[in-house]
Structure 1
Amino acid sequence: MAADAKLELIHVTKRYGETTAVDRIALKIAAGSYCCLLGPSGCGKTTTLRMIAGHEEAPARATSSSVRRTSPTCRRRRGTAMMFQSYALFPHLDCTDNVAFSLKMRGVDKDTRRARAREVLGRVQMEPYASRLPAQLSGGQQQRVALARAR
Structure 2
Amino acid sequence: MAKAFFQSIENSAHNDRLPLAEVVENLSFNEQGLIPVIAQDVSSKAVLMQAWMNSTALDRTLATGRMVYWSRSRNCFWEKGATSGHTQTLVSMSFDCDGDVILCQVNQQGAACHTGRPSCFYLAVKPEQGEVVVIGEAS
Q: TM-score range by the shorter chain?
A: under 0.3
Greater strand share, structure number: 2
Greater helix share, structure number: 1
Whose radius of gyration is greater, 1 or 2? Answer: 1
TM-score calculated relative to the size of structure 2:
0.23
